[in-house]
Amino acid sequence: MNIKQGQALVVGAGISGIRSALDLAEAGCRVTLIDSAPHMGGVLGKLEHQFPTDGCGMCRMLPVTDRDSAFQGCLRKGLIHENVEVKLATRLLKVEGEPGNLRATLETQAPIVDPDLCTGCNLCFEVCPVTIADPFNLGLSRTRAIHLPVPHAVPNIYTIDMDHCTLCGECEKACPFDAITLPLNKKDSFSVLVVDDELILRESLKDWLEFEGFKVETAASGKEALERLDATPFSMVLLDIKMPDMDGTEVLSRAKELFPELPVVMMTAYATVETAVGTMQTGALDYVVKPFDPEKIISLVTEAYLNGLPDHRRFPEVEVGAVILATGVDYYDPTTGSNTFGYKILKDVVTNLELERILSQTGPFEGELKRPSDGRVPRRMAWIQCVGSRQKDFPVCSSICCMIALKEAVLVRKLSRGTIETVVYFMDMRCSGKEFEDYRNRAENEYGVILKRARPHSVCPVEEPDPESDPKSGPGSDSDSGPVRLKLTVSEDSGKTTDELFDMVVLSVGQRPSKATADLVAATKLSLNSWGFLSPQVLDDSLDHGNKTGVFVAGSTSGLREIGESVIYSSWAANLALGAIRSTTSTVSSAGPDAGSKDGNKKAPVVFRDVSREIPDIGVVVCQCPNHLDVEPQIAALVGGDVHVSQVIKKERICTRAGWDDLVHTLEGSRFNRLIVVVCNPMFFVKKKGELSAALALDPVYIEFVGIEGDQPVASSVGMGLARLRHLARLNIRISTMVPRVLVVGGGIGGMSAALGVARAGFEAVLVESSSKLGGNLAWLDKTIHGDDFQELLNITRDRIEKTPGITVLTNAVVDNTRGGVGRYSTVVRTRSAESNDRPSNSVESNLDESNPEALNSHDSSPKDKKNVCKAPDQLREIFHGAVILATGGEEAGTTAYGYGTNQAVMTNREVEAALKQGTLDPGAMNAVVMIQCVDSREARVDARPYCSRICCASSLKHALELKRLNPEIDIYVLYREMMTQGFTEAYYKEARDLGVIFIRYTLDGKPEVAFESDHAVVKILDPILDRFLEIRADLVVLATGVVTRQLEPLAQIFNAGVDQYGFFDEADPKWRPVDALTGGVFACGLALGPRNVEESIASAGAAAMGAVRLVSSCQTAVPAVTAAIKQSLCSVCEQCIQACVFGARALDPNTNRIRIDPVLCQGCGACASVCPNSASFVNNFLDQQMFEIIDAAV
Amino acid sequence: MEETYEIKGANRLDALRTFLGSLFETDNIGSILVPVQSETTHAIMPTLVSDPAVLAMADPFAPCFPLNGAKLVSKLTKRPGDKTMAVVLRPCELRALVELVKIKQARMDHLITISFDCPGAYSNKDFNRLPDRQESHTLEFLEKRLESGFQYHDHVQDQDQVQNQDQNQDQDKNEISLTTACSICTSPFPENADICITLVDQPADTLGLFATTDRGRELLMGRTSSVKPLPKTRDESIKAVLAQNKDAEKKVFEALSSKTATLEKLGIYLSACVNCYNCRVACPVCFCRECVFNTDVFDYEPFQYATWAKNKGSLRMPMDTVFFHVTRMIHMGLSCVGCGQCSNACPNDIPLAELFVSVGKEAQKGFSYGAGKDLDEPFPLSIFFENEFQDVTGI
């Protein structure tokens, strides 16, 4: 009855939204995924290469257990999952209600091209007379007003750019399927009032808009404007702000009094932007900054016009348990600033995103690197970092541009085989995170990317003949003058400016709050941080601050982050959302959340016939259209002699709704056990396969769509399809029940958050901590750099652990060993004798048998004090669980550098934090403090760590600010190699400099030297700006030594997971599967995963919990059709398949001496089958015989 | 230099038998697998000996190599046991055994491997034609081989003779050649046996013994033999043999590549094949319980043959001949130890050994892998390097 049960709304269908949607869908929720764009994929749909692999890999986010629930194809084509409903060109308007019980109002436009009717035949595109800049290629190529929004989407539906469409109607006439319904052209009755005191502006706006077909009148003053509005109703007003007689803002408020619904767009000069922003609150629709692009105005007017049309907009409502916002960020537009780099003026100055399109196979030059201006191959390229970031008025680092620039430069070096010189101009190369520093080193040393620490201030075109190129070989008539090169004026450390010539300049543009953010704030009542971004829920959730809205923020919406972190934040949001949804659903049974919620609001599930052992009885459907008249006779001839084919059905245009419905109707109740459908484009039908499957009561595995387009002869395409189909079988095996309990090892903030995340989703968690108390590093931490209290966080979290049903805590306990595998681990936990326990131990769990699942379940009903704290004398207990989360954390690395340990004046960051917290440090008595960053870090030495520990720069800044606050007179010197202050931490870097903290950069060749004189230290360092050695007499030297893991490796080995070269957890994929091991069942979070701060640790814990929940939710699902199997009678037990399986899905059963396959872990990759010489190992539905027959049909 | 022990006897065979007999005095060794001449049939076959008296007929040096003993060791050791067994294997047999251990078809944990300077062998056909197969023949053969400096030049006079053994035999009925595999063998000396027996440059009544493993050293220590360094000339002699065989190998491979360069030529080369799969049965590293060519993978529907015949105009039967051999090269090439049993087993005298050895060596070179060289060297297909063979993969 309760239709909202298990429903979630995800706003934004980029990778963050996709991740959140998949998380919830896999956990059994119905998800509505919306995006304001007409396509999915967000920014990443446009990117083909991601660091550190320089490839893609987005598909690794697809489900790994219930794989058949989603279309197993390229995710850049789109997400197709049985639990996810996708609505494109849709926005979120309003959310009302309580968490778990929300009503969301959406806004969507009446589709001009009907997605049910459009077949992607391209006839409309051919007749469209309007060419526009292709938005997918960021304007680097041209397309038509009616076009495909993404070249590779599935299914691919045309869309019309209504800003440019002239409503000529050609496409409507050309469409053979009546899929296009253009709005009536009533532009001449849409009257626009242009109000400006400048004649020239009034007149040109009038001309532009009248050219577009609108009716335009003008007013030269505010007073006149109000008179005209009074006299005749207008559809829209374009209003200047600064006018002599009456200010635009006043006109606006008066006009709004008269006509509250009147759309008004403010026009302003650069100086009054803030006023313009203010007018938005008094009802202005938008504002434009003069001088503006006519296109911009036309698009605003067109939008207002379309919105005013009756039936143009629709407002569907959905009832959901939670909402996730994943709308991402916008990118800085260099033209909005002083634009000294000449962006949009010089064609060869492009943004980093534009370069990604240029490098793309579907880009403007089909993957060839050329200059947009003249198509020449550049010989020198420059990247300028921090464009729009780390500025005075926006002291925020965009976090990811350094890596993007390095990756792009590496790609260019690879693509050009080292012939194009690449120079990256940067302030700090921010490569924090475990693999980042290594990538930077490879970029420099292996690929020859040149990094220059300098700030270019402008780019100018230079028309000098290029001495190295032969002008005659240049293209076209320009050949007599050389190509225009770009002169970069660079100021160096010394203050000297130099000029350098390049052929292309790439601007690493930074983040800005997404335009959609303002709408989302209006819709959801969430608040923004001081830089205009939504905050991640760490405060709301973990500190119980803000309001409980049931709305969660995912991915980059709370600030740019690299893919791996975005994915983590999205899974975290999904975990919180799941908590909100489950909190209102019925009580959770011991078998985990009831499986009913998965199908709860679907139609009665179709029961498929079991035809796996039947002799093939194949139906052949041939789609017939004027383009393929000769196909049917050819197929009839081909299948004539095939004993397995019982009928050939000819259908007209099944790509249309009518044709399709006719086919479904015809097939209803047919007894075929295999079906082959011959069509133009099989990808078009991926989403619709389920309807045929239902009509025939046949598992979709047995339905094959075969394409006849391309050079392939019809007979071989269909023959291959038939050969494949004859051997298809869906074995009726189901994945066995998973133990609905998750073991969490490590009771720091990561482990505690993970346990809460598991419990929130309705599963049990057992939290194992080796010490006597929960808390980990939080015990000694004081405050975050933002000033939030860690102790409060610790107390709240501990309290929640106490109060949350379903969490069992074992302190003084360590994992001893484990048996079983994914879904059914049996782990022995050794609880050490607890002589130091301050509480009397409970004797309840002294017996091993009581730790079995039933016994643990029974704890739920036992009194809380017994349930939550189990302390008992030395004992072993066996815990059954389906997944494990490793949260063993990390600690500050030790050091002997800079006299640490020999003199009390040298302390580590951790010691300073603790001393500040306890008040044992007296800043008042200090004159100078030196902080040395990167101690034993980012170095290739054996006794150093090659990675950046990511958190030390922020810690040092935090301490510097605190010391300055306690004693403003204190001199603080931070000796650094790179200040790694990503994101909003950058603001504190600026604050510290404003407060007089002195930052001195050093290199590995010139490390600081520390000597001691009586009670103070003397630090000697070369200041690169002054180019002189400084000697600083310091009362205190603080070392930032970085982070290492604790106790991880042996534990990872026990659970058959690995650690990476740095000793951190080896994740399956740093971008797309950042918290789970390749071998399944094992997740990690917090510092065990890699260096990260407390907020990031909490996020990763949520993601790990979500991963474990996804896994244990998938019990009783069918084994995917493509899964490896083994013919025991042929197997020689050579064990090569075990070694070949990267997923750890194979093992030798020592009792039977046979190979066993775990169908949960098996991903059907086929490595085992290819290593097996006699096909004892094989992959279902990819059989040898089948392949031979397919090849035979093909050749 | 390894410590070498010396065993004396009436002759080389006697010395060997004495040594093998002494192994039974060790607590743990319960049996020895060694070629023994049957008193009734006179055939020399690997025999699992537990009664020391039977060793009187042991004859591993005879130019008789009926089958590769590694497969037999696999049968004997596939499951874990606790009784130690000694096995006397030619170097190529030992290499095959190492490969089988890597693919879990045999175990070495209770095995003492003994190998020796291999004087080579005749083909089964040639050996079985010999009128006299007594002990004296073996000693005579050994003497001749050692006299000639353990070189093969007597037998490998020029390329034609290597290529055409029949002609060679026609010309000189009394002179039987070693098999091609033996003539082009580039590792006929024991390398990784627990105990290595040397013949080269040893006097006619002695054998040298040295160990290459701790297990072997332990066994040799306290034997009743004297410690004596290897003859100084041994290294030189070995080098000369290897150079000679390498040279022969080069000639054989050159001739082979002109005969098998294209798929069509390969078809002609293999045209006498009747798909009896004897080569596969004889191959020591073909370890499948059932060959894929015997399974239903190639069980075509009867109408299929008619369709193919119709499409192509004709259909050679049996089918899949070249496919079978190519598949075997792919499956076994990396493990090919060059023992030559495939040629030995072929009823139609197809010179398979040189084909497999040449393909195998190339494949092994590609992965810097030596079949049977080192138990700890992982099998190339079981390990993965992302940046391997970029010229082939194009990545």
**In chain A, which residues have their Cβ closer than 8 Å to the Cβ of B100?**
none
Q: Where are the beta strands (DSSP E) in A832-982?
A: 869-870, 875-881, 883-886, 890-892, 906-908, 928-932, 971-976
Q: Do A1173 and B383 touch (CB under 8 A)?
A: no
Contact map slice: B 225-254 vs A, CB within 8 A: none
**In chain B, which residues have their Cβ closer than 8 Å to the Cβ of A1171?**
381-382
pLDDT of A272 > 90? The answer is: no
**In chain A, which residues have their Cβ closer than 8 Å to the Cβ of B395?**
none
pLDDT of A663 > 80? The answer is: yes
Residue A69 is predicted with a pLDDT of 86
Q: Do B290 and A1173 touch (CB under 8 A)?
A: no
Alpha helix locations (H) across A587-630? 596-599
Contact (CB, 8 A) for A859 and A808: yes
Q: Do B288 and A1136 touch (CB under 8 A)?
A: no
**Side chain identity at A642, as an amino acid letter?**
D
Residue A271 is predicted with a pLDDT of 65
Average confidence (pLDDT) over A912-917: 93
Helix, strand, coil percent values for chain A (each to nearest 5): 30, 25, 45
Tell me, yes or no, if B331 comes closer than 8 A to chain A by beta carbon. yes
**In chain A, which residues have their Cβ closer than 8 Å to the Cβ of B291?**
1174
Contact (CB, 8 A) for A1169 and A1136: no
pLDDT above 70 covers a percentage of chain A that reads 92
List pLDDT tens digits, range A504-547: 999 999 999 888 888 888 888 888 888 888 887 776 677 765 55
Tell me, yes or no, if B382 comes closer than 8 A to chain A by beta carbon. yes
Helix A199-211 to helix A294-308 angle (10° resolution) is 60
**In chain A, which residues have their Cβ closer than 8 Å to the Cβ of B299?**
1185
Chain A positions with Cβ closer than 8 Å to B: 1129-1136, 1139-1140, 1142, 1171, 1173-1176, 1184-1185, 1188
User: Which pair of tokens denotes residue A203?
Assistant: 């007149």
**In chain B, which residues have their Cβ closer than 8 Å to the Cβ of A1175?**
292, 295, 297
User: Rounded to a whole number, what is the distance in Å from the CA of A1173 to chain B's nearest CA?
Assistant: 6
Residue A474 is predicted with a pLDDT of 43
Tell me, yes or no, if B291 comes closer than 8 A to chain A by beta carbon. yes
User: Rounded to a whole number, what is the distance in Å from the CA of B379 to chain A's nearest CA?
Assistant: 9
Residue A547 is predicted with a pLDDT of 58
Alpha helix locations (H) across A668-806? 689-696, 714-726, 749-760, 790-803
What span, in angstroms and rounded, lies between the C-alpha atoms of A923 and B198? Answer: 82
Question: In chain B, which residue's Cα lies nearest the Cα of A1171?
Answer: B381
Q: Which residues contact A686 (CB under 8 A, 6 or more apart)?
A: A71, A73, A80, A154, A155
What span, in angstroms and rounded, lies between the C-alpha atoms of A641 and A1024? Answer: 84
User: Which pair of tokens denotes residue A995?
Assistant: 């407060």
**Residue A567 burial (10 A CB sphere; 0-12, 13-18, 19+):** buried
Q: Do A1139 and B297 touch (CB under 8 A)?
A: no
Q: Do B297 and A1184 touch (CB under 8 A)?
A: yes
Mutate to test the interface with A, among B99, B100, B103, B324 (most CBs of A within 10 A): B103
What span, in angstroms and rounded, lies between the C-alpha atoms of A1086 and A613? Answer: 49
Per DSSP, the three-state class of A344 is coil
- Which of B103, B289, B292 lies nearest to residue A1136, judging by beta carbons? B103
Tell me, yes or no, if B289 comes closer than 8 A to chain A by beta carbon. yes
The residue length of chain A stands at 1195
**In chain A, which residues have their Cβ closer than 8 Å to the Cβ of B331?**
1173
Contact (CB, 8 A) for B49 and B21: no
**In chain A, which residues have their Cβ closer than 8 Å to the Cβ of B287?**
1132, 1134
Q: Do A1136 and B381 touch (CB under 8 A)?
A: yes
Q: Are strands A807-810 and A869-870 parallel, antiparallel or unpaired?
A: parallel
Residue A838 is predicted with a pLDDT of 45
Tell me, yes or no, if B8 comes closer than 8 A to chain A by beta carbon. no
User: Rounded to a whole number, what is the distance in Å from the CA of B381 to chain A's nearest CA?
Assistant: 7
Interface A-B, measured as beta-carbon pairs within 8 A, has a size of: 50
Question: In chain B, which residue's Cα lies nearest the Cα of A1184?
Answer: B297
A848-869 in b/e form (b: 16+ CB < 10 A) is: eeebebebbbebeeeeeeebbb
Q: Do A1139 and B383 touch (CB under 8 A)?
A: yes
- Which of B288, B295, B384 lies nearest to residue A1132, judging by beta carbons? B288
**In chain B, which residues have their Cβ closer than 8 Å to the Cβ of A1135?**
103-104
List pLDDT tens digits, range A1120-1147: 899 999 999 999 999 999 999 989 999 9
The pTM of the full predicted model, rounded to 2 decimals, is 0.88
Per DSSP, the three-state class of A498 is strand
**In chain B, which residues have their Cβ closer than 8 Å to the Cβ of A1176?**
288-289
pLDDT of A204 > 80? The answer is: yes
What span, in angstroms and rounded, lies between the C-alpha atoms of A5 and A583? Answer: 10
Q: Comparing C-alpha atoms, which of A1043, A536, A431, A427 is closest to residue A786?
A: A536
Contact map slice: B 104-133 vs A, CB within 8 A: 104-105
**What is the number of other CB atoms lying within 10 angstroms of the CB of residue B290?**
15
Q: Do A1135 and B103 touch (CB under 8 A)?
A: yes
What span, in angstroms and rounded, lies between the C-alpha atoms of A943 and B290? Answer: 54
List pLDDT tens digits, range A413-427: 999 999 999 999 999
Q: Where are the beta strands (DSSP E) in A609-668?
A: 618-624, 645-652
Handedness of CA A1124, A1129, A1132, A1135 (dihedral sign): positive
List pLDDT tens digits, range A446-502: 999 999 999 998 999 998 665 555 544 444 444 445 688 999 999 887 788 899 999
Region of A555 (left: φ > 0; alpha: ψ -120 to 50; beta: rest) is: left
Q: Comparing C-alpha atoms, which of B367, B331, B69, B351 is closest to residue B183?
A: B351
What span, in angstroms and rounded, lies between the C-alpha atoms of A624 and A643? Answer: 24
Residue A854 is predicted with a pLDDT of 42
In this structure, what is the dihedral angle of CA atoms A687, A688, A691, A693, given to the nearest 10 degrees? -80
- Which of A1132, A1171, A1174 lies nearest to residue B295, judging by beta carbons? A1174
- Which of B103, B290, B379 lies nearest to residue A1174, judging by beta carbons? B290
Question: In chain B, which residue's Cα lies nearest the Cα of A1177?
Answer: B292
Q: Do B290 and A1130 touch (CB under 8 A)?
A: yes
pLDDT above 90 covers a percentage of chain B that reads 63
**In chain A, which residues have their Cβ closer than 8 Å to the Cβ of B288?**
1130, 1132, 1173-1174, 1176
Q: Do A1134 and B105 touch (CB under 8 A)?
A: yes
Q: Which residue has the higher pLDDT, A686 or A465?
A: A686
Q: Do B288 and A1133 touch (CB under 8 A)?
A: no
Residue A279 is predicted with a pLDDT of 79
Q: Do B287 and A1184 touch (CB under 8 A)?
A: no
User: Which pair of tokens denotes residue A744?
Assistant: 């969490």
**In chain B, which residues have their Cβ closer than 8 Å to the Cβ of A1129?**
289-290
Question: In chain A, which residue's Cα lies nearest the Cα of B293?
Answer: A1174
ipTM of predicted complex: 0.88
Residue B186 is predicted with a pLDDT of 93
pLDDT in tens, chain B (395 residues): 578 888 889 999 999 999 999 999 877 788 999 999 998 888 999 999 999 999 999 999 999 999 999 999 999 998 888 889 999 999 999 999 999 999 999 999 999 999 999 999 999 999 988 876 778 889 999 998 888 766 554 444 444 444 444 444 444 445 688 999 999 999 999 988 999 999 998 888 899 999 999 999 888 886 656 788 888 889 999 999 999 999 999 999 999 999 999 999 999 999 999 999 999 999 999 999 999 999 888 888 888 898 889 888 999 999 999 999 999 999 999 999 999 999 999 999 999 999 999 999 999 999 999 999 999 999 888 787 877 887 777 66
What span, in angstroms and rounded, lies between the C-alpha atoms of A779 and A406? Answer: 38
Residue A837 is predicted with a pLDDT of 46
Mutate to test the interface with A, among B75, B78, B103, B297 (most CBs of A within 10 A): B297
Q: How confident is the model at residue A260 (pLDDT cuts 50, 70, 90)?
A: confident
**In chain B, which residues have their Cβ closer than 8 Å to the Cβ of A1136?**
103, 379, 381-382
Contact (CB, 8 A) for A1073 and A568: no
